[in-house]
Every structure is written in structure tokens, then in C-alpha cells.
Structure 1
Amino acid sequence: MSGCGGSDGSWRTYNWSCNDEGDAIYAVGRDLTERNELEEQLRQAQKMEAVGQLTGGLAHDFNNLLAGIGGGLELIGLRLAQGRTDGLGRYIAASQDAVRRAASLTHRLLAFSRRQTLDPTPTDMNALVRGLESLLRGTVGPGIELVFDLQPGLWLTRVDANQLENAILNLCINARDAMHDRGTMLRLESANRVLAADVASDMSIRAGDYVVLTVQDEGCGMPPEIVQRAFDPFFTTKPLGEGTGLGLSMIYGFTQQSGGQVEIHSTPGQGTVVSLWLPRYQGQETIRPEPPPLPVASQPRLLEGQRVLVVDDEEAVRMIVSEMVTDLGGIVLTASDGPSAEALAAEGAPPAVLISDIGMPGGMNGRELGEHMLKRWPGLKVLFITGYAEQSVLGDQALAPGCALLVKPFTVAAFSRKLAVLLKGD
């Protein structure tokens, strides 16, 4: 037997039958179409609110940065047109500072979206933290006691060391700001942890061995509703103008992209504990020692007489990199895509250095171009430059020997240092 209809207008079907013992068995079905549609509308509204918050924050920050860059360049142009060179240095410095802040903002956004280009290497986290000690002490100030509790025999983890340093610095700055006059101690603790399957499932990461760095403060703490939003982009509890709200979201994206997780626990009035879980590295690749800086006098003509192929589909970038190479003594060849670069390299003497963007048109990305040219000229040095790269383009494997990576935008000094290390070899 069956029946249908509901007092609330929803559609129901009732089915019942009797088993051999005469017991009634009931089944009720309900059409949930309307409820599902309402839930989907709510999810869409929440998604649009998040997009609006993200774009609004971006527009605010980038308008400020563009005002600094554009205003500085315009004033330089006016002074030069007037034949005046006095005071140009401060306009240049202001524009360069705005560019640096814009680069930091875009890197944090890419970290949040897990699309930043990482250069992971086996890393001793204890050594990295110890190397930051003087910077961290200067950052938190003399009124806060900085305590290091680093476990001996800590496992290696394979991460981008620069991004890990940025994450640690951001956490310490947040802790300092949260403490104000409340707390006197900031603790950094490292430990080896084995994560069981059930706990790993709750944390949404794989079971296994992890290296954990914990930053604990004695600050004001956060209520649960704030903790839930802590990793949202552009969400900040700091006063207007004192924070972009991208610090924790950047850390979240970086740890996720590195195969790890970040945990946050906080109690109002007692402080906050943030833990970075990063997978243990058990491969054969060794830690690359940081090469000693070259004498300043030896850097200006690093590429003296060497043929350098510069490949980028952006004409402005291609022009600027070519000028940098020329200033370093190199003989420049330029191409806008992979196929034309290969054809150009085949003419005359082979290039000594390839400098290539990663994401390019023409059916061949920069990594593929580098692989093709390394097969033909194994001694070639390759410097990849990129501002954005999908993992499928860059790949998850370590860069081949003789290759290096430089993230846009970069300074002349950073470009020269990277080339110096690349030409010297591991």
C-alpha cells in the first residue's frame, strides 16, 4: 500500500508492507529539491561574499601601491623635462618600495591560492630557525622574551626555505602584536611527530612522519568565531592600515602546497598556539649549502663575452632582462617563444646561458625548452624566471643540475646573485 502528499506542500511517498510475522514495515520518501536549491543559493551567496572581500581588499591595496609607483615616475618625468635632477633619488626610492610591497602582496595571494612557484629543497628547520634568531629578536623587541625549544635530531623536511622563513616571521609578528603589554614570552618549538591515520584524517592530511614547528604566545587570544576566519584572505583584527590580512592565509596556502597543514588553537586572555606540520623528507638529495657571497668587484661582468639567450613573451620583461645581461657583459639573443628560441640557438655558437620564462605561448613552455636545450648542450646553464606557474608546468621534481629559479619581480641585485650562484655551480 502507499500514499502521497504533505501538509507543508512537499512531496512524500509512503510505502508499507507486512513481513511473514505480521509486523508492519514503513518507509518514507521526501522530495528535497527545494531544500537543496536553497542550500546551493546560500553557498553561492557565501562564495560571492568571499570574492567581494578578496577583490575589495586587492583593489584597496593595489590602488595605494600604484599611486606610489605612478606618482613617483610622473614626478621623475616632470623633473627631467625641467632639467632638474635634484631629489630624484627619493622618488625612485618611493617607487621601488611600492614595487617591493606589491611583489610581497602578489606572492602572498599566490601562496593563499596554492599557485605560487616554490623551490623546495631538503631543509634543517632547526638550523633555519637559529639563522633567524637575531632578526626575530629585533622584530619582537626587548620587552618580549624569545624562547627556543628545538628538538635535537630533528628530521629534515623538503620545503621552500625562503617561504618557510617568511611564514615564521609572519607568525612572530602576529604574536608580538597580539601580546601588546599582556605577555612577556614567545616560544618557538620544533619536534618530530608521527601522525596516526585517525588523527591525520581529522587534520585532512596523510598519516606519516612530520616535522612540526609551533609558535606560542601569551597574547590576548581569539574567540572561536575569530579562529574560524583566521585563514580567510584580507580578514584581520588589526586596525585599518596596520595589516593586509594575508599573513595567515599565506601560511595556510604555503603549508598546503608543501604537503602539510597548519593548526591554530587560541583561548581569549591566554594566548594562541600555531603549529606548522610539514612532511618528513626521506630522499637522497642532500642539503645545498648556501654559497658564500661573491666579492662586489667580481659581479659586474659575470657574463663577459658569453652568449645568453633570453626568452619571454612579454616584450617589456624581455627588454629589461636583456639590458641586465648586457650590463653584466653578456652577448644577448632574444626570442618570444620556445620554437623560435630553439631555432635561434641552433644558429652560430651555442648559448652558454638560457634565461627563460616558464609560462609561454607557442606550444612549448619554458621548462620543456630548457629540457630540449639541455639534451643538446649538457653544459648549458638555465635560469627560469616566472611570476606564476601551475604545478603541471613547473613539475613537482627538483630542478635539474645547472638550473635555477627566480620569481618575478626581481631586482638587479637578486638577478646578479642568482646568476653568480648558477655559474659557479653546486
Structure 2
Amino acid sequence: MSISGESKYRLLVEAITDYAIYYLEPDGRITSWNAGAERCYGLSAAQAMGDNFARFYTSEDRAAGLPAQALEAAVRDGRHESHGWRLHSDGSRFWAQVVLDPIRDESDGHLVGFAAIARDSSKGQPAEEALRRSQEQLRLLVQGVRDYAIYMLDPDGCVASWNAGAERIKGYREEEVLGKYFGNFYAEQDASLGQPARNLAIAREKGVYEGEGWRTRKDGTRFWAHVVIDRLTDDNGKVVGFAKITRDVTEKKQAEDELLATREALFQSQKTESIGQLTGGVAHDFNNLLMAVMGNLELLRKWLPSAPRPQMLLDNALAGAQRGAALTQRMLAFARRQELHPRPVELPLLVHGMADLLRRSLGPEIRIGTSFPLQLPKVLIDSNQMELALLNLAVNGRDAMSGGGRLEIGARGEYVAEGHSTALPPGEYVCLWVADEGHGMDNATINRATEPFFTTKGVGKGTGLGLSMAYGLAEQSGGRLLLQSQPGRGTTVEIWLPVAAAHADAQQPAAAGDPQDEGELQASEPLSLLLVDDDDLVLLSTMAMAEDMGYDVHGVLSAEEALAFIDAGGQVDVVVTDQAMPGMPGSRLARHLRERNPGLPIVLASGYAELPMDLVPDLVRLGKPFNKRDLYRAISDAQGQVGVTDEIG
């Protein structure tokens, strides 16, 4: 018996058990059901017929309208294929692959129903679902990161994805940047130099690019970014895009810059301190040499013939030695080891008193102006050293204005708080400034300007000690020297000085009865002097000056020899000792001497300002280098302080 074609198709469909094949009306009602459908869904034909196929969807998918959307997509696209969870009759789930094909009337093309084919693909689902879950977790992870900008670029460098971190760091929303070239985020200068394309080329060639640089936010502000660009390829090695990670490390960059600046400042401070120590040592040795030269020249004056030429040569030699002494004072000022006599000073009066000297020193091509407030506190400073420093600064300003110009001197009072540019302790200060219109200095020159012997004036046109002397004076006086300068725009030197306390003594003690004539420098009574100095040239010169003034002199080269002389019964009325000696300094020798005789007059000679804090009382200071008059005055002062002493021995 023969079987019709329709029956053959029905038998074929019924025989298929691995696929659910069923027919749906246009509204989704089931009107046919094969054995595969019964096996797949667990429903008999009687149970399924007439029911809507939406019953096989999960409640979540039904609430989302997926069944109706599937039918609409099949009508619209001519076919709809989907994967998703479906329900067995017992309520359990299985992973299904479903295809819906619309069926139309051949005569007029109107929709008459749908052919549905479904397959239980749960066996392959775990791997697919794991992949889907992994991809979803990765998406959530990338979107959840806010400290890093993580986004994709297409092969041409245009943005293909954008995470929340990118929006936070760069300020752009996703819709504002998708499809835009990533070079728009670079600083304008880097972008104009082609840096974005070079970075992308490195990543394309080597697989990865890593670097740092300035980037620009949407609002125009800049941030320092750490950037990684990774190349993405398909299975055939073709570049399909780039993964880009950007992190804002501006705070780290600022911390590194601050650390570098601190290290540089420390280096400059250590260098300045080292130069100061070296300068102070050189000045000390130079002082000793000048002592020998000046002392012997003074003594020679008595023995030279009175003819004009020998006296002129002697005067020239003494003048040269005195200029050398002034040079050592500048060196000691930089090293902060000169002896100062600070007192309250009114800076406007000091500058006014120097007006004639400044005009003569600077010449007619320099116009001098002043700018002082009506009320300005007094400052605590050594007025003589301040005048010298001010003259040095004015001469520097003149030399910077080769064609003439204006030099202005002024001052202002200011309260210095924590974090001030001077780095001074908080308190009241006066800023004295000298400004010129000269050629100015670059940063490299400014960094070295206060070093001793550094000069830009050329060979033979400057010692390089004027600015360093002013620097040392400011530091030793509890203040600070600052430089402000730019090439072609002049230089301003600021000296910040502490305000004098209201109770400070404004008067400089005057020395009464100083002898004015070399002939008066004679001991008023026979005295025995003990002279102590480790430098034999200085010792011999000092002994010669003392003997010339009528003193009975005994000289030794160390503190130990001095104590041995006294312990052996040597007669001593006054001791003149150097401070800086190996083994035992003069201050310690003075202590031992006072233990033996509390009333012994002692003169302490030193070229340094810094002395131990625990000095024995009633010591007379004698600055080096000194001449006969200085020595005579110091011995007289020492006798006056302690009175007549008993003879030792």
C-alpha cells in the first residue's frame, strides 16, 4: 500500500526524537507536537496542544516579554534563532537552542503560523554558560574599576569602549568619546609632535608600550599619567585593536619632584657649608700671614730712612696688607665666622649717611633712588658691616648696568610666618633690597652667585666676594639673603634682618683714651707678657710689637708650653693667647690659668667670631689680624677688667 507525501513528512517528523518540532499559530498556540517535543519538554501532545509556547519560558523571560519578541523577530527577519533557559513539565530547566521560521500562505503571502524547532543543548551549555558568565564578570570588573581608565582602541587608535574609571579620570562620558582618536587626550605639545602615533606604533610592533607623560582632561586641566597600551590580535596574528590602561599618578609625580627639589636644596646647602668651612680655614691662615706682614711693616717704619721714596713704598706695602685684611673679613663673613658688634640700626638713616659715598663710588651714570616707609622698625645688625655689604651690592648693580641706569635701595617691614619663602623662624623682620636694571642672571648663575670667588665680571674685574660677604652677614645676623633675577630684566637682592628688641642697647660703646699716635704706644708700667701662638711667624711678629712698646715678653708655641712656663715659676702679668691651636685651644688654656690665678688678665686673640659658650669671665677679645694699637688697647683693657694681679711664681 502506498503512503501519501503528507503522511511521509508526518512520519519523518514523528520519528525525530532529538529535536522538538512543533507548529505554532500566529498567536503562539501549539497545534502540532512530535515525539522529540514530548521528550524535550516532558509533555504529551494532549497536554501541549492548544497551549501557548510561552509556557516553556522562565518567569523572568516571560516578564521581560521574550516570547512575543521572538515571534516578532521571526516575522521581521524571516527567521529567529536564540539560546536560553527553557522549562520541563516538572519545572526543571534545560538550556535550549530554538529556531522559529514563519510560514506564509503561498497565494497571498499572509502569515499562517510558525515552524518551531528546539534542541536540548544542556550538555554543551556549562562551557558556554561559563564563558558567558566569565565575559559578564570581566565586563562588570572593568566597569567597576574607578582608579584606572581601561578602554579599547580599534586598529586606528579610535576609542571602542570606555569604563567608569576612564570617565572619572578624563572627565568624558562614553558617548562623547566613542569613535574619537585617543590622541585627543594628550597634552597639546606632545600631540603636535606625533607622540600618540609613535606610542601606538611601538605597541603594534613590540606588543606593548609603557610610559608616562602629561594628559589633558575634558575641562582642560592636566594630569601626569602612567600609560600601558597592549596589542590585541586574532588567531591569525592580525591586529584587531589595543587595550589601553591609564592611571593618574600626579600626586606621585609631585612627590618625586618635591623630593628632587629637596635633594637639590640639600646638596646646595652642603656645598655652601663645605665652601664656607674651606673659606674660613683659608681666611684663618691668611690672617696669620697678614699678621706677620703688617706687624713687621709697622716696626720697619721706625728704622727706615725718612726719605719720601722708602716711606712711600712702606705705605704701599701696608695698604696692600690692609686690603688683604679686608679680603679676609669678607671671606670670614661668608663663612659666618667674623666678629660682629650688632646694635639697633635705623636703615633709612644708615643709607642716607652713605649717600655721598654711594654717589662717588657708582659714578654719574647711575641714578640712585630710595624707597622707605615713614615708619620702619630698627634692625639688629653690625652697622659697619652693613654699610660694607650695601656698598658691595650697589657696586655689583652698577657693574651690571654697563650703559648706566637706575639703582634703587629700599626696605619694608614684614611678619614672617611658617612656610615663608625665606624659611626664617616666624617673627618680625625688615627686608632691605637693592634693585638694578642690569643684564640679570639665569638660574645657573643665581645658584652660584653667593659662592666666594665666583664672578661674572671677567678676570681682574672683581673678587667674587661682595655678594658672598652680604650673604654671610645676613646669615650670621639671624637673617637671610634672597636673589630675584631674570636675564635682561635686572636683579633684586633682598637682605632679611630681624627687628631689634625694644630694650636693646642702641649705643655702641666708645673706647676712651685710645692713643692716636704711634709714639704714645708705650707701656705705662713694666709688665711681663706671656704670648702664646702656634704660628711662629705670628708669634715673632707679636713679640716684636710688644717689645717695641716696652713690655717684657716671653713667647711659647703651645698651651702646654705656657702652663709649663707658669708652673716652673715664670713671671706673668698679662697673657695674650691665640684661640685656634692644636691640642689645647686658647679658651681651655684660659680656664687652666684662671684655676691657678683667678685674677690673671687674659687676652684671647682669634680671627673667628665663633667661640665656646663656656668661656671664663673677663676675657678680652682681640681680632686677627691686629696691629700695635690693637694689641696695646687689648692689654690695657685686660688690666682694667681684673685690676692689678699678684705675681705668679
Q: CA deviation at 1:284?
A: 6.5
3-state DSSP of counterpart to 2:419: helix
Q: Which has the larger radius of gyration?
A: 2
- Quick one: distance in 1 between partners of 2:489 and 2:627? 43
Change beyond 3 A, Cα 1:423–1:275: farther
Q: How does 1:331-370 map to 2 (within 5 A)?
A: 331-345=552-566, 347=569, 350-351=572-573, 353-362=574-583, 364-370=584-590
Candidates 251, 271, 274, aligned match of 2:493 = 274
Change beyond 3 A, Cα 1:285–1:323: farther
Change beyond 3 A, Cα 1:125–1:332: farther
Change beyond 3 A, Cα 1:88–1:354: same
* Partners of 1:314 and 1:336 within 8 A in 2: yes
Q: How does 1:315-334 map to 2 (within 5 A)?
A: 315-334=536-555
Percent of residue pairs bearing the same amino acid type: 35
3-state DSSP of counterpart to 2:408: strand
Residue number in structure 2 paired with 1:33: none
Residue number in structure 1 paired with 2:623: 406
In the alignment, does 2:439 pair up with 1:217? no
3-state DSSP of counterpart to 2:405: coil
In the alignment, does 2:602 pair up with 1:385? no
Q: CA deviation at 1:196?
A: 0.4
* Partners of 2:474 and 2:497 within 8 A in 1: yes
Residue number in structure 1 paired with 2:396: 174
- Quick one: distance in 2 between partners of 1:133 and 1:330? 45
- Quick one: distance in 2 between partners of 1:417 and 1:130? 32
- Per-residue deviation, residues 84-120 of structure 1 (Å, max 9, x unmatched): x984445444443443344344443343344x23234
Q: CA deviation at 1:128?
A: 4.8
Q: CA deviation at 1:341?
A: 2.3
Candidates 290, 314, 321, aligned match of 2:510 = 290
Change beyond 3 A, Cα 1:128–1:336: farther
- Quick one: distance in 2 between partners of 1:319 and 1:153? 50
Q: CA deviation at 1:244?
A: 1.9
Q: CA deviation at 1:338?
A: 2.4
Instruction: Say which is worse superposed, 244-253 or 333-342, in terms of deviation.
Output: 333-342
Residue number in structure 2 paired with 1:155: 378
Q: CA deviation at 1:242?
A: 0.5
- Quick one: distance in 2 between partners of 1:214 and 1:239? 25
Change beyond 3 A, Cα 1:354–1:139: farther
Q: CA deviation at 1:217?
A: 2.9
Residue number in structure 1 paired with 2:203: none
Opposite residue 275 of structure 1, the aligned amino acid is E
Residue number in structure 1 paired with 2:53: none
Candidates 425, 444, 447, aligned match of 1:228 = 447
- Quick one: distance in 2 between partners of 1:367 and 1:260? 28
Opposite residue 403 of structure 1, the aligned amino acid is V
3-state DSSP of counterpart to 2:582: coil
- Quick one: distance in 2 between partners of 1:375 and 1:117? 29
In the alignment, does 2:387 pair up with 1:165? yes
Residue number in structure 2 paired with 1:254: 473
Tell me the matched-pair count: 363
- Quick one: distance in 2 between partners of 1:398 and 1:193? 36
In the alignment, does 2:528 pair up with 1:311? no
Opposite residue 511 of structure 2, the aligned amino acid is P
Q: How does 1:116-131 map to 2 (within 5 A)?
A: 116-126=337-347, 128-129=350-351, 131=353
- Quick one: distance in 2 between partners of 1:268 and 1:336? 54
- Quick one: distance in 1 between partners of 2:524 and 2:477? 35
* Partners of 1:188 and 1:214 within 8 A in 2: yes
Residue number in structure 1 paired with 2:460: 241
- Per-residue deviation, residues 385-405 of structure 1 (Å, max 9, x unmatched): 22457x4xx136899555223
Q: CA deviation at 1:357?
A: 0.6
Change beyond 3 A, Cα 1:333–1:211: farther
- Supply the RMSD in Å over aligned alpha carbons: 4.8
* Partners of 1:205 and 1:260 within 8 A in 2: yes
Change beyond 3 A, Cα 1:113–1:296: closer
- Quick one: distance in 1 between partners of 2:540 and 2:462? 35
In the alignment, does 2:516 pair up with 1:299? no
Change beyond 3 A, Cα 1:219–1:302: farther
- Quick one: distance in 1 between partners of 2:465 and 2:445? 15
In the alignment, does 2:424 pair up with 1:205? yes
Change beyond 3 A, Cα 1:133–1:333: farther
Q: TM-score, normalised by structure 2?
A: 0.46
- Per-residue deviation, residues 234-268 of structure 1 (Å, max 9, x unmatched): 32221321012222123223322333210112344
* Partners of 2:365 and 2:404 within 8 A in 1: no
Opposite residue 111 of structure 1, the aligned amino acid is A
Any stretches of 5+ residues in structure 2 without a counterpart?
1-207, 210-246, 248-259, 642-649
- Quick one: distance in 2 between partners of 1:302 and 1:191? 50
* Partners of 1:404 and 1:422 within 8 A in 2: no
* Partners of 2:529 and 2:553 within 8 A in 1: yes
Instruction: Say which is worse superposed, 169-178 or 147-156, in terms of deviation.
Output: 147-156
3-state DSSP of counterpart to 1:290: coil
- Quick one: distance in 1 between partners of 2:585 and 2:597? 18
Q: How does 1:105-124 map to 2 (within 5 A)?
A: 105-114=327-336, 116-124=337-345
- Quick one: distance in 2 between partners of 1:404 and 1:371? 15
- Quick one: distance in 2 between partners of 1:270 and 1:118? 36
* Partners of 2:533 and 2:578 within 8 A in 1: yes
* Partners of 1:303 and 1:330 within 8 A in 2: no
Opposite residue 320 of structure 1, the aligned amino acid is S
- Per-residue deviation, residues 159-207 of structure 1 (Å, max 9, x unmatched): 45443333222112112222343314x33334433210111xx323322
Opposite residue 112 of structure 1, the aligned amino acid is F
3-state DSSP of counterpart to 1:234: coil
- Quick one: distance in 1 between partners of 2:350 and 2:475? 20
Any stretches of 5+ residues in structure 1 without a counterpart?
1-6, 9-25, 27-35
- Per-residue deviation, residues 3-60 of structure 1 (Å, max 9, x unmatched): xxxx99xxxxxxxxxxxxxxxxx9xxxxxxxxx9xx99xx89x98xx98xx99xx9xx
3-state DSSP of counterpart to 1:309: strand
Change beyond 3 A, Cα 1:398–1:245: farther
Bigger relative CO (Cα 8 Å, ≥ 6 apart): 1
Change beyond 3 A, Cα 1:303–1:146: farther
